[in-house]
Amino acid sequence: MLDCKVGLIKLPAYFNLLNQSFYHLIIYFITRLISVENNCRFIQTNHRMKKYLFVVLCVISFSSANAADKDSTVYYNLPDSIKAVQFMAEINIHDYDQRKNCFIGIKTDAVAISMVNRGGRFIEMTATVPHMNIVRGIGVGFELKYGDPRFGYNWEIDQSYKLLISQATDSAGNFSLYSGYIFLPKENKWKLLGTMKILNRWNSIQRPAFYYYKKGKKELVVNTGEVWIQRSNGSWKNLKKEDIPNPAINWFGHMDSIQQREVDKKIIGDAIISGKIEVKRNPEGIYYTMMKEGTGRQVTVNDTVTAFYKGYLFANDSVFDQTREKPATFPLKRLIRGWQIGVPLCKVGGKIKLVIPSDLAYSIRTRAAKIPPNSILVFEIEVLDAKNGN
């Protein structure tokens, strides 16, 4: 005698991997399949029931084939009081099935950086919302795949890679820039993957997480080391509550610094040849022209200067900062290298225009929403006063 009570039906062990709604679907098909008559003394099967049986077998076959696939996400909760502008995690992959696809990385509510094994190993940056790619990394192995930056790099097991998501917002413009970076241990340098502009989003980093997805039965062995966020005031917070030194990021000696310097030189050189701009090159690498000669003393790098200024992008003349009714006062040694080199070329009372290559400005750093990484900057500076900082 066949016992057909649904409650006694035992499903295979791999059904435990199915989600609840999928489980209910299986139960539905099984209950429709079994026609119970006379206290389950026999099972009547007709043409319709055969169709149900075919569907059930297909579903079971599919679920069995994919039962070993696995994904996991670990979210790091941030209090509302923390306004995070950077999220960094250290990842070390110890073992994985090189024949199967896998993705390991970090993400926020807007973007993700992944170390990928899929027809080869590479690192890619993707977004979960509509976006524009405004900056891409350079160098061998770089490409835009489906519009998003991908770096063909053979990452290795038992190596610690640091992944970093950096954000800069512009509430007035109602947009944010998100940049992705990876620290390559063998090269001992950071590399910029790319920068995305996302509209209608100007809050801080939300829902930072570590995640992975892998196919196949073989276990993926991976662990996270240091996990950090940086607040908008520049301070760092260790999300694993480890008592270790804060991260030190070298934005200037990055993987592509030499190549980027040559790119900038060509862009500025072509603009000079075409007559777009009239400047001459300083031996230390900046370009300048004197707009008005000063009559006071020569400025030194140790001075605290008072000046009117306007800063804009060389690429499109978009103004990102300027003084208005009142001048600004600051020690030169606290400013970008381009100012430290360029302003001492001027005397008090003079006005100078500086064209500053990216390596003497903010380099690959996502400093502000209006200044993408690797931006050549232009400043017009009128020096009103200079006092010796000593």
Q: What is the DSSP string of 116-135?
A: EESSSEEEEEEESS--EEEE
Domain co-membership, 93 together with 54:
no
Domain co-membership, 42 together with 165:
no
- Tell me whether residue 252 is in a domain: no
Higher confidence at residue 92 or residue 32?
A: 92
Surface-to-core class of residue 101, CB atoms within 10 Å of its CB (0-12 exposed, 13-18 middle, 19+ buried): middle
**Cβ atoms of 191 and 142 closer than 8 Å:** no
Calculate mean pLDDT across residues 323-346. Answer: 97
Domain co-membership, 136 together with 209:
yes
% of the chain with per-residue pLDDT over 70: 82
Domain co-membership, 224 together with 101:
yes
E strands within 69-131? 70-75, 84-95, 102-107, 111-117, 121-127
**Cβ atoms of 294 and 348 closer than 8 Å:** yes
- Tell me whether residue 211 is in a domain: yes
Sign of the C-alpha dihedral computed for residues 376, 377, 378 and 384 taken in this order: negative
Whether residue 51 has pLDDT greater than 70 = no
Domain co-membership, 46 together with 109:
no
Task: Give the domain-ending residue among 211, 238, 265.
Answer: 238
**Cβ atoms of 151 and 193 closer than 8 Å:** yes
Domain co-membership, 82 together with 206:
yes
Whether residue 23 has pLDDT greater than 80 = no
Calculate mean pLDDT across residues 10-30. Answer: 43
**Cβ atoms of 106 and 180 closer than 8 Å:** no
Q: How far is CA 318 from CA 42, 90, 197, 362, in A?
A: 81, 36, 16, 16
Q: How far is CA 102 from CA 90, 111, 113, 329, in A?
A: 18, 18, 13, 53
Domain co-membership, 97 together with 193:
yes
Calculate mean pLDDT across residues 184-203. Answer: 94
- Tell me whether residue 229 is in a domain: yes
- Tell me whether residue 244 is in a domain: no
Please state, rounded to an integer, the average pLDDT across all residues of the chain.
Answer: 86
* One-letter amino acid for residue 21 of the chain: S
pLDDT at position 58 is: 55
Domain co-membership, 127 together with 265:
no
Domain co-membership, 220 together with 352:
no
Residue 336 pLDDT grade (very low, low, confident, very high; cuts 50, 70, 90): very high
For 123-149, what is each residue's pLDDT tens digit?
999 998 889 988 888 887 787 776 789
pLDDT at position 369 is: 96
Domain span at 49: 6-66
Domain co-membership, 204 together with 284:
no
Instruction: Report the Cα 375 to chain-centroid distance in Å.
Output: 17
